[in-house]
Amino acid sequence: MPKIRYNNIDNVSTDKTLKEFKQWREQRRSKVKDYSYTVPKHPPELDYLHANRAETTITWIGHSTFFIQYHGLNIVTDPVWAEKMGFQRRLGAPGIPIQDIPPLDVILISHSHYDHLHLASLRKLVTAKTLLIVPDGLKRKMVRKGFRRCHEMKWWEHITLGGVKITFVPAQHWTRRTLFDTNTSHWGGYVLEQNHPDPIEASADQSPGGPPVIYFVGDTGYFKGFKTIGERFDIGVTLMPIGAYDPEWFMTSQHVTPEEALQGFVETGSQLMVPMHYGTFKLADDTPKEALDRMEAERERLGINEERIRVLGHGETLRIRHEESKQD
């Protein structure tokens, strides 16, 4: 039986030829990069995070890994505590040591690339009560690896856990873990929102203090899906990638530039943006400082209030309040 191969919206291709890959490697040899800047490390608020089940929090572990507390659920996105990615050592220690992470209810996997799905990390995090949520096509592999409490979703499908509705939404990317499984599972992001069983409850629950909608983008190039997702959800906080874009001629279809990240943020209608996917691994030729500087220059050019871009350090916790997520 032939394997299903997944595609992007409008069948946008991320394929690169061997010639293009060699061209990038040759260009890389001539580049001199300054990696003296590192993402600040903050002592994690472990006592608070272990006790908290009420307040919405977002703690950056590094790269695309966040520890999120949302409406009573403890959630981790794209768990990677690996010390190396290929031959590249991690640029900074994880914001919270893996053994100190509070017990997890849910783990969200955006796609199967190694820098977003680290099996050794998963094995240390998953307990009998942890639900692993993965893109369509990935469940069979995860069950083979021993993760039997696993749920897979297609784009726009959702699952309700307690009072939380989790929707799998599109991204523009690709995936592969071996030479033979390119695009045999999908990729995307996740939207977290409070579940409203009926319109009357939804109307009554708009008082301050309710959790904002959180959009974890995953890994993506710039695409029209940002606007579509923004039209479907009243997003309060967007966790948006800004790194691994250089050289742009090679990365453009699969990773946003900092400028495209802000464009996508604006198009979602989101109120707050937390940058991610930078400062942890050397996946491309941009440095953490370059990504942050370009993002800041574009923020000023667009006239976006600086309080709407929350740059976290590793281990830093953002406590989200309803009124904070609805700033102008």
pLDDT digits (tens, 9 = 90+) for 281-328: 999 999 999 999 999 999 999 999 999 999 999 999 999 976 554 443
Rounded Cα–Cα distance for residues 245 and 201 (Å): 43
Q: Which tens digit of pLDDT belongs to each residue from 49-103?
A: 999 999 999 999 999 999 999 999 999 999 999 999 988 899 999 999 999 999 9
* Residue 19, H or E segment: helix 18-29
The rounded distance, in Å, linking the Cα atoms of 151 and 132 is 6
Looking at residue 163, what DSSP letter applies? T
Beta bridge partners of 296: none
Query: How far apart are the C-alpha atoms of 115 and 185, rounded to whole Å?
Result: 16
**Residue 191 · residue 233 · CB < 8 Å:** yes
Q: Tell me if 111 sits within 8 A of 219, measured CB to CB.
A: yes
Indicate the pLDDT class of residue 24, thresholds 50, 70 and 90.
confident
Q: What value, to the nearest 5°, has the Cα angle with vertex 81 and ends 272 and 132?
A: 75
Helix (H) or strand (E) holding 250: helix 248-251
Task: Supply the pLDDT for residue 146.
Answer: 95
| CB-count burial class (<10 Å; 0-12, 13-18, 19+) for 29 | exposed
Percent of the chain with pLDDT over 70: 93
pLDDT tens for each residue of 255-294? 999 999 999 999 999 999 999 999 999 999 999 999 999 9
Q: Under 8 Å CB-to-CB from 119, ≥6 apart: which residues?
A: 145
- Cβ atoms of 204 and 195 within 8 Å: the answer is no
Edge-first strand listing for the sheet containing 272-276:
158-161, 164-169, 189-194, 213-216, 235-241, 272-276
DSSP state at residue 99: G
Query: What end-to-end distance do the CA atoms of the chain give, in Å?
Result: 53
Q: What is the pLDDT of residues 225-262, one digit of tens each?
A: 999 999 999 999 999 999 999 999 999 999 999 999 99
Which residues, including other chains, have CB under 8 Å from residue 316's CB and lie 6 or more apart? 40, 42, 59, 60, 95
Backbone angles phi, psi at 144, to 5 degrees: -60, -30
The per-residue pLDDT for 327 is 46
Backbone angles phi, psi at 181, to 5 degrees: -120, 25
Q: Which domains does the chain have, with CATH numbers?
A: 40-322 (3.60.15.10)
The amino acid that residue 210 corresponds to is G
Pairing outcome for strands 235-241 and 213-216: parallel
User: Residue 3's pLDDT band (boundaries 50, 70, 90)?
Assistant: confident
List C-alpha distances in Å: 276 to 65, 144, 160, 239, 291: 8, 30, 26, 7, 10
What H or E segment, with its residue span, contains residue 190?
strand 189-194
Whole-angstrom distance, CA of residue 202 vs CA of residue 14: 40
173 in Cβ contact with 157 (< 8 Å): no
